[in-house]
Structure 1
Amino acid sequence: MPRRTLNLGILAHVDAGKTSLTERLLYHAGVVTEIGSVDAGTTRTDSMALERRRGITIRSAVASFAVRNTAVNLIDTPGHPDFIAEVDRVLGVLDGAVLVVSAVEGVQPQTRVLMRALRRLRVPTLLFINKIDRRGAAEQRILDAIAGRLTPAIVPMGRVEDPGFPGARFIPWARAASRKILLDALSVHDDAIVNAYVSDEAAVSDRRLRRALADQTRRCRVHPVFFGSAITGAGIPPLVDALADLLPAAGGDPSGPVDGRVFKIERGRLAYVRMFSGTVCLRDRITAGGRPAGRVTGLTVDGAPAPRVGPGGIAVMRGLTDVRVGDAIGSGAATAAPHFAPPTLSTVVVPARDDERAAMRAALNELAEQDPLIDVRQDDVRHEISLSLYGEVQKEVVASTLADEYGVTVTFRDTTPICVERPAGTGEAAEVIFAPGNPFTATLGLRVEPAPPGSGVTVRTDVDLAGVPMYVYKRQDAFGDMMAGYIRAALAEGLAGWEVTDCVVTVVRSGYQAPNTTAADFRRLTPVVLMRALDEAGTRVCEPLARARVEVPVDTVGPTLSVLARAGASVTGQTRDGDLVTIAALLPATAVPAVQRQLPGTTGGEGSLETDFGGYRPVTGTPPVRERTTPDPRNLDEYLRTA
């Protein structure tokens, strides 16, 4: 029986062979008797109809197998950048990862994004170079690209025989070559090995080197590299052995406080939970995100019903009526911090038939439970529903899901950027109880000040205890917490309809009349006062940017710069490495698809574009306005009728 548990993520750029590797690992472990095909739509972890049709992974999936004394929970993640949110939720529950790189295409844009996240979160990572049997596979070229574009801290674990041919094989190093490579790589971080080797080479045993390799891998100091083919099975046995030998096992005290994380929700409120500490049993009542979540009426572990789940385990829990993706189960923090940028695009969803509008809204609400970042917004004035997106492929996924799973046909309007607003200056406003024009039984004053870009929203309370209705809020800190919630909710739509961020809001005045004042008075008064303070401060609408890294042949730099200039990019730097030039630039997020389309023709098919979130910058010219979906507090009559 396995005594260790390893929660393993399989990550890659789209089409690198990640799902094929997952299938091969399950076959090697005896979990499946036949290897599924991505092209044929028969893979175990791609269960959506669209996943099978398109041959891409859209939602993360969990499968389990055993390697000697280690139980592996394998999580297959999407490779397409439009579904980076799925990867985001998985990263926080991993003990280790395998990053798959194609031996033909090499290090691709998403490969770099994923490796940066894995290193930032210190997730021990093995590299698997797939497709060594494909024409164009090049062993040393890939190793050089990994060292130059991902990390130099790599340890090749063998060599490839006949790369680029159907019979290509991975050959682990012979003892002498293995010792030299391990000594060279491990001595960088281990002076004891260096000293022992200098004193007496024989004193550094092979066993000591393997222990040091495992230790440094688990500390993310080195990344062992394996070669193989998920299709033929070449190189799979050494990789499987490395999962048990080199990656860390899950820890945690079964009798400790319950602490877990929800990383996926499926239709029917099936919550996928990774446990870090404690034990959850059937019929237990638990909290999620600090809220009562309900009673566990069903537990599935390793694909079978189970009475309990302990540390390191991944369970599908039924019966949780109030649970969201990212919630902590039990004693953990309320939500998981995102590791990637939020969506920067938005679109309006339109039902094919008006009588399907209610069904579409209900279906989208269920999809938002599975993926909160799509941020379903309803405009009650024009009766429109909008979504947030990472890219155009997401539209196809939403449309297909609505059609296949809910029987609702939809179309989309043009994609637009999701802007934000930032205060342009300082503004302050107040409403006094019983004063003309204040219909609420409360006094409230708020001051809004700009904060550094990227700092988010900070809420402070600077009022005398005498102004806080303690019979309502019980404690002054409870008043502050509730006011922070009211203020953040009100900042969801600013003067131009966009979310207001990068600001400090201070509660500077508070008053009440006992026993008439209620929490609702402060909640409803907050947007009115806050909008007046923002009016005085003014706001700047800022558009989302992409930070681009464009690698092109030196003789195509001029045309490439012209493409970037037409896209509204600002070039921030250029570096040359041999015949290649890397151009760093910031450009509007909406311009990235156009640059991607033009780059192959401009560079003879040899250019590559890598982007990540680059922050926001003020819009030049007339700023875009987003219609409000909630009553406008600046129109008090309308606000009072509907708020």
Structure 2
Amino acid sequence: MGIVAHVDAGKTSLTERLLYAAGVVDRVGRVDDGDTRTDSMELERKRGITIRSAVVSFRLGDLPVNLIDTPGHSDFIAEVERALSVLDGAVLVLSAVEGVQPQTRLLMRTLGRLRIPTLLFVNKVDRVGARYDDLLADIRRLLTPTAVPMQSVPDLGTRAASVVPLDVQRAELGEILAERNDDFLERYLQGLVDQAVELRKQVAAGDVHPVYFGSAMTGVGIDEVIDGIRNWLPRATGSPTGELRARVFKVERVAAGQKIASARIVSGTLAARTPVAVHPGDGPEYQTRPSGIELYVDGARRPVDRVEAGQIVALRGLKSIRIGDQLGVPSTYARRLFAPPTLETVVSARDRVRLFQALTQLAEQDPLIRVRKAGSTGDITVSLYGEVQKEVIASLLASEYGVEVTFSETTPIHVERLNGTGTAIREITEGPWAAGVGFRVSPVAEGIEYNLEVELGALPRAFHTAIEETVRQTLHQGPYGWEIPNIRIDLTHTAYSSPVTVAADFRRLVPLVLMRAIAEAGTTVLEPVNQVELDVPPDTIARIMAHLAEHRGVVTQATQNHLEGTIPAAGTHSFESQLPTLTRGEGVLATAFHSYSPVPAAPPIRHRTDGNPLNEKQYLLHLNQSS
């Protein structure tokens, strides 16, 4: 299961309480003291926030639990996405004082979209300002209309706050359950039902959400939350006798430089030193074998020879493994839950070679930290979700690689959208390489579609692999230098000369032909646009609306003290930095990616790293210099 929340709601403290209750730790760590079990990075302890997801396994009675503590800050939403992809159930933590916060709404929407069974835990009931009735109303209005309180809270908002269980057979709960099941309604009206059985079913289906109250700091209500986890969240159902299905959700490097991949075994079994199929998210399948397997158990990891469905494992020896890769038989679930980063910054250091190597290794641990090195300027850029990530990257580079860095101003990452259809073909006789290819490109609503209109057996498999890999790499830079994320590519022609042709011939030829087809179709440059939600003092609302308009923002909804709308990512940071002055420090802003929109002015051009396949002479010179 996962624990998710808006930053500072108390999810890491709840994790510590669960570990203490399970006997994994003999004292409860405190975020403020920097001694929590799951925050292992120095910066996590210093800042008191979770940056990387952490896994810890333990038992609650007869129930084995693999718990994933996820980040709460919106800059690290990619880490949350990876955790959600492997969950059976979740606990969403809220503060009884701050209530439903912007990130809480985003997380709840995602959990609901994935139908992940979820309990809500309202933390900090012992704090001054803690709420109950109006907070439940907010939860039902903003998060889920089927929130069901499982306790009352005497002495709310005082150090004497406690929790009292509410009867599962009560009428209020029965009515909510009956609204979603006609069979249950009929039996309910006859007084012939056990509401606990139906509650378990509807929680497992993601239809109803029990709400628990307590204090992770004092331990009040923790036993009741544990009972809720054991009673209502569904247990793993994968069979160890089925086909192997596993998903990698975390990759890290140990001191010796070896990769360790954390994966959830959904079904089947996996043995060390046994061949396994790997299905990358953006490339062809390949075979590998783990040299070692470690099982997360009792708060630690221990080596084992074999693991099975329902377990979380750490795999060694998978040199090319990446986050999101699937092992065994791939599942249909592969879509991205949250938007990719929309910002980038140039990173500078005295030793550019060491910097690039270090960033490349960091990108293995976080694939959304995409690293680029511009060929003409040598500038190294990384993609970001926000300004806090700069501090994280700088800290990691200094502590783990001994590289001190500085950053330039953050700028938005644009994308290119195909305008129409384009074709290009190049015969084997037309160039310096013993290969020929042809492509047709066309726009699609989402994703990259790669299709063969040639016979698979007409070309050696290694050549097909080289073509597809190079096609996907070429799409990172369209005619203006920006990525083309939504496109269909049909391979319409291939030719080779045996035994002269090698895979490298196709790798060098494909960018020339594919970019010619894309240029014929034409592209439009789009800029990222963010959704904004603002709570501000009523007397500042007019000033804020004018300020938003100055940054090309659009207001879609406004009340006396609340604004919703959109703003281009290019103006978001400037708008945010001026907000405290405009609102006397009382403004609360939440932003999230909304969509891409055509750039209103001349399209910005990005420095290329590929030698520019649109200019054949320049491209050939680049290849000669690189070889």
Given the two structures, how large is their TM-score scaled by the length of structure 2? 0.91
- Aligned residue in 2 for 1:221: 207
- Aligned residue in 1 for 2:576: 596
Paired residue secondary structure (1:237): helix
CA RMSD between the two structures: 2.4
Retained in 2: the 8 A contact 1:472–1:519? no
**1:561 aligns to 2:545 (yes or no):** yes
Q: In 1, Cα distance between the equivalents of 2:546 and 2:497? A: 65
Q: In 2, Cα distance between the equivalents of 1:429 and 1:285? A: 40
Within 5 Å, give how 1:426-441 maps onto structure 2. 426-435=421-430, 438-441=431-434
Structure 1 residues 270 and 502: alpha-carbon distance in aligned structure 2, compared to 1, 3 A threshold: closer
Within 5 Å, give how 1:56-455 maps onto structure 2. 56-173=49-166, 175=167, 179-199=170-190, 201=191, 203-204=192-193, 208-267=194-253, 268-289=258-279, 290-302=285-297, 303=300, 304-333=302-331, 336-351=334-349, 353-354=350-351, 357-435=352-430, 438-452=431-445, 455=446
Q: Letter of the aligned partner of 1:156 in structure 2?
A: P
Paired residue secondary structure (1:257): coil
Q: In 2, Cα distance between the equivalents of 1:29 and 1:514? A: 64
Q: In 2, Cα distance between the equivalents of 1:336 and 1:380? A: 33
Q: In 2, Cα distance between the equivalents of 1:396 and 1:379? A: 23
Structure 1 residues 275 and 226: alpha-carbon distance in aligned structure 2, compared to 1, 3 A threshold: same
Paired residue secondary structure (2:235): coil
Retained in 1: the 8 A contact 2:272–2:289? no
| CA deviation vs aligned residue, 1:180-206 (integer Å, no higher than 9, x gap) | 22212211112233323333x3x33xx
State the 1:413 CA deviation: 1.4
- Aligned residue in 2 for 1:4: none
Q: Letter of the aligned partner of 1:324 in structure 2?
A: R
| CA deviation vs aligned residue, 1:532-586 (integer Å, no higher than 9, x gap) | 2333333221111112334556665433321221121133x3265xx55553x22
Structure 1 residues 399 and 332: alpha-carbon distance in aligned structure 2, compared to 1, 3 A threshold: same
Q: Letter of the aligned partner of 1:21 in structure 2?
A: L
Structure 1 residues 431 and 232: alpha-carbon distance in aligned structure 2, compared to 1, 3 A threshold: same
Retained in 2: the 8 A contact 1:430–1:529? yes
Q: In 2, Cα distance between the equivalents of 1:281 and 1:428? A: 47
Q: In 1, Cα distance between the equivalents of 2:95 and 2:467? A: 51
Retained in 2: the 8 A contact 1:328–1:335? no
- Aligned residue in 2 for 1:472: 460
Structure 1 residues 286 and 530: alpha-carbon distance in aligned structure 2, compared to 1, 3 A threshold: closer
39-48 or 551-560, which moves further after superposition?
Answer: 551-560
Retained in 1: the 8 A contact 2:426–2:438? yes
Q: In 2, Cα distance between the equivalents of 1:370 and 1:612? A: 23
- Aligned residue in 1 for 2:522: 538
265-274 or 603-612, which moves further after superposition?
Answer: 603-612
Q: In 2, Cα distance between the equivalents of 1:434 and 1:427? A: 22
Q: Letter of the aligned partner of 1:110 in structure 2?
A: Q
Retained in 2: the 8 A contact 1:250–1:312? yes
State the 1:297 CA deviation: 2.2
Retained in 2: the 8 A contact 1:326–1:335? no
**1:586 aligns to 2:566 (yes or no):** yes
| CA deviation vs aligned residue, 1:72-95 (integer Å, no higher than 9, x gap) | 111100000111111111111111
| CA deviation vs aligned residue, 1:414-459 (integer Å, no higher than 9, x gap) | 1111111122344333334434xx333344333333444xx23334
Retained in 1: the 8 A contact 2:479–2:614? no
Structure 1 residues 600 and 194: alpha-carbon distance in aligned structure 2, compared to 1, 3 A threshold: farther
Q: Letter of the aligned partner of 1:629 in structure 2?
A: T
Q: In 2, Cα distance between the equivalents of 1:560 and 1:441? A: 62
209-218 or 306-315, which moves further after superposition?
Answer: 306-315
Paired residue secondary structure (2:317): strand
Q: Letter of the aligned partner of 1:113 in structure 2?
A: L
State the 1:512 CA deviation: 4.7
Retained in 1: the 8 A contact 2:178–2:188? no
Paired residue secondary structure (2:4): strand
Structure 1 residues 469 and 91: alpha-carbon distance in aligned structure 2, compared to 1, 3 A threshold: closer
Retained in 2: the 8 A contact 1:294–1:320? yes
State the 1:473 CA deviation: 4.5
Q: Which runs of 5+ in 1 are unaligned?
A: 1-7
Q: How many residues align?
A: 611
State the 1:469 CA deviation: 8.2
Choose the corresponding residue for 2:47, options 36, 39, 54. 54
- Aligned residue in 1 for 2:447: 456
Q: Letter of the aligned partner of 2:516 in structure 1?
A: R
State the 1:245 CA deviation: 0.6
**1:615 aligns to 2:595 (yes or no):** yes
| CA deviation vs aligned residue, 1:228-285 (integer Å, no higher than 9, x gap) | 1100111111100111110011122222222211111121311111111122233333
Q: In 1, Cα distance between the equivalents of 2:581 and 2:378? A: 43
Paired residue secondary structure (1:372): coil
- Aligned residue in 2 for 1:28: 21
- Aligned residue in 2 for 1:5: none
| CA deviation vs aligned residue, 1:361-394 (integer Å, no higher than 9, x gap) | 2222221111111012223443322111111111
Q: In 2, Cα distance between the equivalents of 1:135 and 1:593? A: 33
Paired residue secondary structure (2:460): helix
Q: Letter of the aligned partner of 1:549 in structure 2?
A: E
Choose the corresponding residue for 1:639, options 610, 619, 623. 619
Retained in 2: the 8 A contact 1:82–1:393? yes
Paired residue secondary structure (1:320): coil
Structure 1 residues 558 and 21: alpha-carbon distance in aligned structure 2, compared to 1, 3 A threshold: same
Retained in 1: the 8 A contact 2:295–2:311? no
425-434 or 311-320, which moves further after superposition?
Answer: 425-434
Structure 1 residues 539 and 229: alpha-carbon distance in aligned structure 2, compared to 1, 3 A threshold: same
Among all aligned residue pairs of Structure 1 and Structure 2, give the percentage whose two residues are the same amino acid: 48
Structure 1 residues 393 and 332: alpha-carbon distance in aligned structure 2, compared to 1, 3 A threshold: same
State the 1:470 CA deviation: 2.1
Q: Which runs of 5+ in 2 are unaligned?
A: 280-284
Paired residue secondary structure (2:170): helix
| CA deviation vs aligned residue, 1:37-56 (integer Å, no higher than 9, x gap) | 10110101000000000000
